[in-house]
Amino acid sequence: MGNTYANKYYQIGEVSKICNIPIRTLHHYNDIGLLKPKKIDSSNNYRYYSHEQLLHIRIIKDFKAEGFSLKAVGELLKRDDIDFNKKMLDLKCIEIDKTISELEMLRKKLKVYVEGMEYKENETIIDNNIHIKEIMPLDVAYLRYKGSWIHEEFITVFSELYKLIEKNNLKVIGTRLVMFNENYLEIDYSDSHIEICIPINKTTEIPGLVRKLDGFEAVVATHYGKYSNIQGTYKLVRGFIKNTEYKLQGNVIHNHIIDAGTTINREKYITEVIFPVIKI
């Protein structure tokens, strides 16, 4: 018995219904040479597709669902070469792995912000969560400057650092850090030596842009609200450290968990104040 489908043809409307594909998409595939009708009736210009082309449409839809561009799909359909197709699929798997990695980094970054927002209002009054903490090594993009820590200048410098990050194809994976390179008791916030750091995914140093922050032990406290009264949190830290076997050693670091990048309400800012310490 012969193949009853070998000479069967379908009008474009039938193909659209059978394959669940818009007619305009079939027209587009024809225009770009991806899938041309098997024959066109010269008397009425009707387009007809073969039974085998129904399978081609299924293959095209599968490749599209797997993330391949129409150009790549065309290459895959034209090549009767299993090794070539395997190579293309392997490359797509690598691309997907990279996307998953980038999305996971983004998820971790967003979780940091979410966790920072999950605080109770009464905690801002009675608890600054002061404790000893091990700060892990961190790869950061950084920018040093001497100037003001006021809101407007701060945003300008951060914007410059983000521009450098984007130019070098780096990925941000954490919250912004501000390091004051002078004694915390003598900081002049209107004219300070400041280093702004942003955690990134690159582990190779780039002179003047990327470096590794070494790990260290620290006493940390959570400061809620405006930066203008952050010295009050410093005072609480000094009181806390007196009752421990540690002493302050090094310059203060501010971890901006919630800042102007998250809310316009400065009363809602959350800053982790980090003081390096050593055992006495």
- Of the residues 48, 78, 108, which one is the last residue of a structural domain? 78
Residue 247 and residue 135 in one domain: yes
pLDDT digits (tens, 9 = 90+) for 211-254: 999 999 999 999 988 888 888 899 899 899 988 899 888 889 99
- Residue 3 resides in a domain: no
Range(s) of the domain holding residue 56: 9-78
CATH number of the domain bearing residue 45: 1.10.1660.10
Residue 164 and residue 209 in one domain: yes
Is the entire prediction scored with pTM above 0.85?
A: no
- Residue 107 resides in a domain: yes
- Residue 1 resides in a domain: no
- Residue 2 resides in a domain: no
Residue 254 confidence (pLDDT)? 93
Residue 181 and residue 266 in one domain: yes
- Residue 173 resides in a domain: yes
Residue 142 and residue 17 in one domain: no
Instruction: State the 10-residue block means of pLDDT for the chain, 280 residues long.
Output: 66 93 94 92 88 90 90 83 83 89 80 65 57 92 83 79 91 88 70 88 86 93 88 90 88 87 84 91
For the chain, the residue count is 280
- Measuring CA to CA, which residue among 35, 36, 99, 91 is closest to residue 68? 91
Residue 150 and residue 247 in one domain: yes
Residue 151 and residue 266 in one domain: yes
Residue 50 and residue 175 in one domain: no
The number of distinct structural domains making up the chain is 3
Residue 119 tokens read as 């605080």
Residue 216 and residue 246 in one domain: yes
CATH number of the domain bearing residue 223: 3.20.80.10
- Of the residues 95, 122, 149, which one is the last residue of a structural domain? 122
> What is the spatial distance between Cα 109 and Cα 122, in angstroms, rounded to a whole number?
26
- Measuring CA to CA, which residue among 184, 250, 256 is closest to residue 227? 256
Residue 233, CA atoms < 13 Å, CB-side half-sphere: 29
Residue 188 and residue 172 in one domain: yes
- Residue 60 resides in a domain: yes
Residue 1 confidence (pLDDT)? 46
Q: What Rg do the C-alpha atoms of the chain give, in angstroms?
A: 30
Amino acid (1-letter code) at residue 256: H
Residue 90 and residue 187 in one domain: no
Residue 163 and residue 223 in one domain: yes
Residue 198 and residue 211 in one domain: yes
> What is the spatial distance between Cα 167 and Cα 32, in angstroms, rounded to a whole number?
35
- Residue 4 resides in a domain: no
- Of the residues 62, 97, 122, which one is the last residue of a structural domain? 122
